[in-house]
Amino acid sequence: MSEKKNIIDDHHSHDHAHSHLPSDPELRVKAVETLLLNKGLIDSKTLDELIDTYENRIGPKNGAKVVAKAWVDPEYKKRLLNDATSAIRELSYQGRQGENMVVVENTPKTHNVIVCTLCSCYPWPVLGIPPTWYKSDEYRSRTVREPRKVLLEFGLSLDPKVQIKVWDSTAEIRYLVLPMRPKGTENMNESELSELVTRNSMIGTGLPKEIK
Amino acid sequence: MSRLHDMGGRFGDGSIPVPRNNDNEVTNCEPTFKYEWHAKAWAITLAAGALGEWNLDISRHYRECLPPKDYINFSYYEKWLAALTNLLIDKKLVSLDELKEYVSAAKNGTLTKFSDKDIKLDHRTWLAKDVQKTLGWGGPSIRDTNVNPVFDIGDKVITQNYSPNKDVSGGHTRLPKYAMGRVGVIHSYNNNHVFPDKNAHGFGENPLPLYTVEFKSSELWGESAESQNDSILLDLWEPYLKLLPN
């Protein structure tokens, strides 16, 4: 029996500790946070550092630089499609929730879309913390069954002849979409190009910005 | 056979909550954390996880094991906080009495009465100076083992048609029910990874071959598939799969 100690017994789920928490979520967090701080199990400076990191330093701008580099440097693109984790590490993006990266390339014939139906797996080092819609029940339930309808809600209408590949992140591989380079950008440099790369275009629910 | 988190393909959900700007255009801009308590719930979950008392698979399973009524009613970070609270109690990092004391103080607005408490950091506590290093390192799930993959790229396989966790009824698994009992093709082999079905229950890491398996949309959704041409790819561990004659 002892080896089963980690199993939650569903029959006792009404006794779950969380049922003692206050109904206001703000108070709920405050209670648990204060308790852990006072027990010395967490440090407030660590919380500040974590939040600052993902609010200000790690986000879709990282992924945009990866994409722009792949657009201008065919050798880099080859490395990126062959071993994304290493190629992304060349730009110093690595680590938590990006330990095993795979980059999937959009072409005139194939459009890729990323989802996590079981939870909210997302490539943190290149895209940051997932947006609310990515974590929503609606996106998680519908994207694998009706990706074309889902994409329409993002304003993206695909030719019926284009094959859609939906990647459901069911393990610890994290996916990034390499969108197609927009037309008319031949004279733009890497840094200008990265400004065109939207977060949604790297998830597959959008396209890069067009040149006006 | 499954739990509420396993929602791929489910009917009944409405429009995606796509953020739009004042001109009603889809926007990519929204705050990383909508409310301060979202940021706090997220950060304390990461910081408590760094104590090393549980792994990623255990924490996922705790979220999945929330009672269905709570799972449905809770917002995303409420699920995180509820699962974290249950873990803290089950792993004896805090006692139920302590929790109740702080909850009651929070309700009465007297949490500050604890603020003059002398705080001594636990030896396991994640320090701010180590945050970047730990994040950069991450938690790789690939393991060097001498297990060789059974399947080749291009092999036709069928997924298990029932909940695949052999050790625990209702146990953790990463084979979604929409892809159970379905025929797909091995798209790639991705090395050997920690097996969540074991690791989520404290039965060890048991690293096993992980494959990306491609399913035709029509195989999963039949005639109602949006396009017979589309496909869905999932990352599946070897025990979820059986070889079919090509």
Torsion of CA A183, A187, A193, A196, to 10 degrees: -40
- Domain spanning B36-137: CATH 1.10.260.40: no
- Smallest CA-to-CA distance from A121 within B27, B139, B221 is with B139
- DSSP run (H or E) holding A33: helix A25-38
- Smallest CA-to-CA distance from B94 within B64, B53, B61 is with B53
Compute the average pLDDT of residues B117-142: 94
pLDDT of residue A5: 42
- Which residue among B12, B18, B37 sits closest to A154, beta carbon to beta carbon? B18
Cβ A22–B103 below 8 Å, yes or no?
yes
DSSP A3-29: GGTT---GGGGGG-GGGGS-SSHHHHH
pLDDT of residue B114: 85
Q: Which residues of B touch A105 (CB under 8 A)?
A: none
d(CA A19, CA B85): 9
Cβ B126–A53 below 8 Å, yes or no?
no
Report the amino acid identity of residue A83.
D
Name the residue in chain B with its Cα closest to that of A60: B28
pLDDT of residue B240: 97
Q: What is the mean pLDDT of chain B?
A: 95
pLDDT score of A55 more than 60: yes
Cβ B178–A144 below 8 Å, yes or no?
yes
- DSSP run (H or E) holding B193: strand B183-193
Q: Which residues of A touch B190 (CB under 8 A)?
A: 100, 171, 173
pLDDT of residue A11: 44
Is the distance from CB of B149 to CB of B207 less than 8 angstroms?
A: no
Query: Rounded to a whole number, what is the distance in Å from the CA of A140 to chain B's nearest CA?
Result: 6
Higher pLDDT, A14 or A197: A197
Q: State pLDDT tens for residues B156-212.
A: 999 999 878 989 999 999 999 999 999 999 999 999 999 999 999 999 999 999 999
Residue indicated by tokens 């009495």: B97
Tokens coding A117? 């139906």
pLDDT of residue A14: 47
d(CA A76, CA A124): 21
Identify the CATH homologous superfamily for domain A60-203: Nitrile hydratase alpha /Thiocyanate hydrolase gamma (3.90.330.10)
Q: What is the mean pLDDT of chain A?
A: 93
Which class is domain B156-244?
mainly beta
Name the residue in chain A with its Cα closest to that of B115: A38
Q: Which residues pair with A102 in a beta bridge?
A: A175
Compute the average pLDDT of residues B18-45: 95
Compute the average pLDDT of residues B4-19: 97
Q: Which residues of B touch A173 (CB under 8 A)?
A: 190, 210, 212, 235
A3-12, A38-47, B26-35, B142-151: least confidently modelled range? A3-12
Higher pLDDT, B54 or A5: B54
B44-58, B82-96, B161-175: least confidently modelled range? B161-175
Is the distance from CB of A202 to CB of A127 less than 8 angstroms?
A: yes
Whole-number Cα distances in Å, A43 to A96, A156, B2, B114, B119: 20, 44, 37, 15, 10
Strand positions, DSSP E, chain A: 101-105, 110-115, 163-168, 174-178
Compute the average pLDDT of residues A60-89: 98
Name the residue in chain A with its Cα closest to that of B58: A6
pLDDT score of A2 more than 60: no
- Please tell me which residue in A86, A119, A136, A141 is annotated as part of the active site: A119
Q: Which residues contact A31 (CB under 8 A, 6 or more apart)?
A: A21, A22, B99, B102, B103, B105, B106, B111
Domains in chain B: boundaries: 36-137, 156-244
Compute the average pLDDT of residues B112-122: 85
CA dihedral for A49, A51, A56, A59, sign (positive or negative): positive
Residue indicated by tokens 């059986």: B242
- Please tell me which residue in A2, A19, A92, A116 is annotated as part of the active site: A116
- Please provide residue A85's backbone torsions phi and psi, each rounded to the nearest 5 degrees: -60, -50
Q: Which residues of A touch B85 (CB under 8 A)?
A: 17-18, 21, 32
pLDDT of residue B116: 66
Cβ A168–B168 below 8 Å, yes or no?
no
- Smallest CA-to-CA distance from A132 within A143, A149, A120, A124 is with A120
Q: Which residues of B touch A169 (CB under 8 A)?
A: 235
Cβ A46–B131 below 8 Å, yes or no?
yes
Compute the average pLDDT of residues A184-199: 97
Compute the average pLDDT of residues B226-242: 97
Higher pLDDT, A7 or A90: A90
- Which residue among A36, A99, A166 sits closest to B140, beta carbon to beta carbon? A99
- Is A119 among the catalytic positions? yes
d(CA B121, CA B63): 27
ipTM: 0.97
pLDDT tier, B2 (very low <50, low <70, confident <90, very high otherwise) = confident
d(CA A200, CA B39): 22
Half-sphere exposure of A38 (CA within 13 A, CB side): 18
Name the residue in chain B with its Cα closest to that of A141: B8
Q: How many helices (H) and strands (E) does chain B have?
A: 8, 5
- Smallest CA-to-CA distance from A41 within B136, B92, B129 is with B92
User: What percent of chain A shows pLDDT beyond 90?
Assistant: 89
User: What percent of chain B shows pLDDT beyond 70?
Assistant: 99
pLDDT score of A164 more than 90: yes
A107-111, B3-7, B25-29: least confidently modelled range? B25-29
pLDDT tier, A125 (very low <50, low <70, confident <90, very high otherwise) = very high
pLDDT score of B117 more than 80: no
Is the distance from CB of B161 to CB of B180 less than 8 angstroms?
A: yes
pLDDT score of A6 more than 80: no
- Is A121 among the catalytic positions? yes
- Which residue among B16, B66, B136 sits closest to A153, beta carbon to beta carbon? B16
